[in-house]
Amino acid sequence: MTVASSSTPRSTPPVAIAAPKAQRRTGTRVGDGRGDGALAAVFVAPAMTGFLVFLLWPTLRGVYLSFTKFNLLTPAKWTGFDNYIRMVNDPIFWDSLRVTVEYVVINIGVQTVVALLIAVLLQRLTQSVWLRSLVLTPYLVSNVVTGIVWLWVLDTQSGIGNEILGALGLGHIPFFNDQHWAIPTIALVNVWRNVGYTALLLFAGLQAIPGDVYEAGRVDGASEWRMFWRISLPLLRPVLAVVLIMTIIGSFQVFDTVAVTTFGGPADASNVLQYYIYGSAFGRFQFGYASAMSVALLVVLSAITVIQYRLTRAGETDLG
Amino acid sequence: MATTPLVTIRPIRIRRRPSLGRALAWAAMGGIVLVTLLPFYWILRTALSSNASLAAHPSTPLPTGFTGSAFARVFGAESTKAALAQGGAGGSIHFWRYLLNSVIVSTLITGCQVFFSAMAAYAFARLQWRGRDAVFKLFLTGLMVPTIFTLLPNFVLIKELGLVDTLLGIALPTMFMTPFAVFFLRQFFMNLPREVEEAALLDGAGKVRIFFRVLLPMAAAPIVTLSLLTYITAWNDYFWPLMVSYSGSSRVLTVALSIFRSQTPQTGTDWSGLMAATLVAALPMFVLFVSFARRIVNSISFSGIK
């Protein structure tokens, strides 16, 4: 009894917790020795089915298919490392990997900075849920809607974005139709959609920093600018690291926006990896080769996660 | 609300005088909100304009050549000839059908996924069975596989099941669970006090009954939150439905939109029609958001960090 109550760091009277807790221990584990096996099987069965059939099995099968020649119509034929050898020698693959990395760097770079700015502004200016909702609105529309709307706003002929640039005397920019502009444009359009979500994640992290740290800073005469670098950013580091891992993984999977705006062009300038994979599978029916490239992407993502986790010591916190 | 200064331990909020820094900060915030919201206004403005005047007046803030014709075109209520005259592609587009498909798919996914995940979460949080923690860890590793990796093999599976081009085929892979949903609800069930359940047990209620009559009602708030997030995700999904659906019978809004976008009429892109269609696809989510903004906004701190 005493052990049970002293190990629960709650402020309610110890007896109140100790009683049911002790009862649970004796009642279900040791006492009658009767588990809920049968009932649990029924309760877990649907989720387990979904997990095994639509998550575990496709993952294993995806790896298997990467070692085969498979066009959907005839059974998959084992070809060993052929797909991987072909991949390493495929200039389009390397090019699409380069384009994807370029996209991720711009997308994540800009998004993280803007999200941090929004999060800090929200934290230091107001607690308004209303304002937070406004910032989040673009996240509610699909990537497809986002792509189409910006395609129109940035249209070379009569898009309002180009009209404004023209009025400022900057001339018209063929955002989606130019080899050099296509990837930065897609990256920034996706920042528009996702930055609010990222900002709210960071905002939640900032909320965990106790207010008296800032009060102390202010008493010492520190400016907001200084407090950001000395208090907010260091204390936010663990949250920032997790958010970075999440957003980078998401960013590498870019597909929707490309599929509705540039179709990978012009001249493969925005042929991101996922778009190339889709084209290989559904355009050229090379499911084996497409699977091999998916495995490559999976390996890249896992490596990034591990490296970043180590570098940023994501699991640790300076709070507490 | 009696003012007892001794009891109010809330951190003293110093009302800072309006400084230049704060004014600049508010200005920056205002700019951000403007960039966030203006494209939405532009959708509405374009959808209510006619294609002919759009080309002539690309930058007037109000709709130009005001007409509801774009919406008529999107819902297939305009004759082919009239649609062509308005700058439409003239092909058959029936957004009522796609809207209905999106509703069916999203509802099916949300209803089943949340319910099955809640059942599993209960088993992980409250029932005693051998291998429980190991199975839960296995589920969690599922979080590490990017969804996109499973899409190709899942398509092969759906094809083998003969469910290509059906709404069920679109819904099936996420109908049973996602590791996140199970994790999210298990976390909640773990934090519920056991007293109520113990009382119900003493009253002779079975565990199944306790789940349905005690725990589910107590978990109403997180279940609603999870349902909202799942619904929005399902509604906005594009890649998977694109793979599975080929014809109008299983076409959801996102796929319909991208097809609409790629049909370019001879007179140039049908922008007002596209924006009307975009509005139709986005509006239901806005309605959901306006109704549940606080809940959705507050749930985000959970979904990301914990």
A86-312: CATH, from 1.10.1200.10, 3.40.1780.10, 1.10.8.50, 1.10.3720.10: 1.10.3720.10
Residue A188 has pLDDT above 90, yes or no: yes
> Cβ–Cβ of A290/B152 closer than 8 Å?
yes
Query: What gap in Å lies between CA A13 and CA A3, rounded to an integer?
Result: 14
User: Cα–Cα distances in Å, from B149 out to A281, B178, B303?
Assistant: 13, 15, 21
What count of other Cβ atoms lies within 10 Å of the Cβ of residue B107? Answer: 15
- Residue B266: band (very low, low, confident or very high) from pLDDT cuts 50, 70, 90: low
Percent residues over pLDDT 90 in chain A: 54
Residues recorded for chain A: 320
Q: List the single range of A151-165, B32-46, B64-78 with lowest mean pLDDT.
A: B64-78
Average pLDDT over residues A300-307: 88
pLDDT of residue A238: 85
- Residue A318: band (very low, low, confident or very high) from pLDDT cuts 50, 70, 90: low
pLDDT of residue A28: 42
User: Cα–Cα distances in Å, from A307 out to A293, A302, A304?
Assistant: 21, 9, 5
Residue A293 has pLDDT above 70, yes or no: yes
- Residue A167: band (very low, low, confident or very high) from pLDDT cuts 50, 70, 90: confident
Q: What are phi and psi of B233, to 5 degrees?
A: -60, -45
Yes or no: say if A159 and A149 are a contact pair by the CB < 8 Å rule: no
What is the distance in angstroms between the Cα of A133 and the nearest Cα belonging to chain B? 6
Interface probe, candidates B106, B301, B302, B303, chain A, greatest A C-beta count within 10 A: B301
Percent residues over pLDDT 70 in chain A: 87
Q: Measured between CB atoms, which of B40, B130, B274 is closest to A37?
A: B130
Residue A213 has pLDDT above 50, yes or no: yes
Give the torsion sign (CA, B195, B197, B198, B199): positive
Average pLDDT over residues A152-163: 87
What count of other Cβ atoms lies within 10 Å of the Cβ of residue B109? Answer: 24
Q: Which residues of A touch B304 (CB under 8 A)?
A: 201, 204, 242-243, 246
pLDDT of residue B87: 67
User: B 137-196 residues with CB below 8 A of A?
Assistant: 138-139, 142, 144-150, 152-154, 156-157, 159, 172-177, 179, 182, 194-195
Say whether the ipTM exceeds 0.90. Answer: no
Residue B9 has pLDDT above 50, yes or no: no
Interface probe, candidates B99, B113, B151, B186, chain A, greatest A C-beta count within 10 A: B151
> Cβ–Cβ of A197/B300 closer than 8 Å?
yes
pLDDT of residue A281: 93
Higher pLDDT, A222 or A141: A141
Yes or no: say if B111 and B176 are a contact pair by the CB < 8 Å rule: no
Most confident of A2-6, A172-176, A216-220, B176-180: B176-180
Q: Is A65 on the interface with B (CB under 8 A)?
A: yes
Residue B272 has pLDDT above 80, yes or no: yes
Query: What gap in Å lies between CA B247 and CA B169, rounded to an integer?
Result: 13
Q: List the single range of A55-59, B75-79, B179-183, B276-280 with lowest mean pLDDT.
A: B75-79
Q: List the single range of A31-35, B215-219, B269-273 with lowest mean pLDDT.
A: A31-35
Domain boundaries, given as residue ranges, for chain A: 1-35, 86-312
Average pLDDT over residues A61-88: 93
Which among A133, A174, A141, A181 has a CA at the least distance from the CA of A155? A174
User: B 46-75 residues with CB below 8 A of A?
Assistant: 46, 54-55, 58-59
Tell me the domains of chain B and their CATH numbers: 25-85 (no CATH), 96-262 (1.10.3720.10)
The DSSP symbol for A55 reads I
Q: Which residues of B touch A55 (CB under 8 A)?
A: 142, 145, 150, 179
Q: Is B63 left (phi over 0), alpha (psi -120 to 50) or beta?
A: beta
What is the distance in angstroms between the Cα of A91 and the nearest Cα belonging to chain B? 22
Interface probe, candidates A24, A26, A42, A51, chain B, greatest B C-beta count within 10 A: A51
Q: Is B39 on the interface with A (CB under 8 A)?
A: yes
Average pLDDT over residues B51-75: 81
Q: Measured between CB atoms, which of A36, A46, A205 is closest to B116?
A: A46
Query: What gap in Å lies between CA A14 and CA A21, rounded to an integer?
Result: 11
pLDDT of residue A18: 37
Q: Is B117 on the interface with A (CB under 8 A)?
A: yes
Residue B243 has pLDDT above 80, yes or no: yes
What is the distance in angstroms between the Cα of A102 and the nearest Cα belonging to chain B? 20
Name the residue in chain A with its Cα closest to that of B155. A58
The residue assigned the tokens 């819904």 is B171
Q: Is A94 on the interface with B (CB under 8 A)?
A: no
**Which residues are bridge partners to A68 per DSSP?**
A78
> Cβ–Cβ of B282/A141 closer than 8 Å?
yes
Q: Measured between CB atoms, which of A35, A152, A155 is closest to B128?
A: A35
Q: Is A80 exposed, middle or buried (0-12, 13-18, 19+ CB in 10 A)?
A: exposed
Q: What are phi and psi of A270, to 5 degrees?
A: -125, 30
pLDDT of residue A14: 35
Most confident of A74-83, A184-193, A234-243, B285-294: A184-193
pLDDT of residue B56: 78
pLDDT of residue A139: 93
> What does pLDDT average to over chain A?
85
Q: Is B263 on the interface with A (CB under 8 A)?
A: no
pLDDT of residue B44: 92
- Residue A29: band (very low, low, confident or very high) from pLDDT cuts 50, 70, 90: very low
Q: Is A75 left (phi over 0), alpha (psi -120 to 50) or beta?
A: beta
pLDDT of residue B90: 59
Q: Which residues of B touch A200 (CB under 8 A)?
A: 297, 300-301
Query: What gap in Å lies between CA A173 and CA A189, rounded to an integer?
Result: 15
What count of other Cβ atoms lies within 10 Å of the Cβ of residue B257? Answer: 27
Residue A10 has pLDDT above 50, yes or no: no
Q: Measured between CB atoms, which of B172, B208, B261 is closest to A148?
A: B261
Residue A271, SS3? Answer: coil
Which among A245, A254, A288 has a CA at the least distance from the CA of A186? A254
Higher pLDDT, A8 or A257: A257
Quick one: tokens of B30?
């205002």
- Residue B294: band (very low, low, confident or very high) from pLDDT cuts 50, 70, 90: confident
Q: Which residues of A touch B258 (CB under 8 A)?
A: 144, 259-260
| Chains A & B: contacts with CB separation below 8 Å | 283
What is the distance in angstroms between the Cα of B282 and the nearest Cα belonging to chain A? 6
Q: How many CA atoms lie within 13 Å of B81's alpha carbon, on the beta-carbon side?
A: 0
Which 3-state string (H, E, C) describes chain B? CCCCCCCCCCCCCCCCCCCHHHHHHHHHHHHHHHHHHHHHHHHHHHHCCCHHHHHHCCCCCCCCCCCCHHHHHHCCCCCHHHHHHCCCCCCCCCHHHHHHHHHHHHHHHHHHHHHHHHHHHHHHHHCCCCCHHHHHHHHHHHHHCCHHHHHHHHHHHHHHCCCCCCHHHHHHHHHCCCHHHHHHHHHHHHHCCCHHHHHHHHCCCCHHHHHHHHHHHHCHHHHHHHHHHHHHHHHHCCHHHHHHCCCHHHCCHHHHHHHHHHCCCCCCCCHHHHHHHHHHHHHHHHHHHHHHHHHHHHHHHHHHHC
Query: What gap in Å lies between CA B113 and CA B195, rounded to an integer?
Result: 28
- Residue A290: band (very low, low, confident or very high) from pLDDT cuts 50, 70, 90: very high
> Cβ–Cβ of A35/B301 closer than 8 Å?
no
Residue A1 has pLDDT above 80, yes or no: no
Yes or no: say if A131 and B29 are a contact pair by the CB < 8 Å rule: yes
User: A 265-304 residues with CB below 8 A of B?
Assistant: 274, 277-278, 281-282, 287, 290-291, 294, 297-298, 301-302
> What does pLDDT average to over chain B?
85
CA angle B298/B299/B303 to nearest 5° reads 135
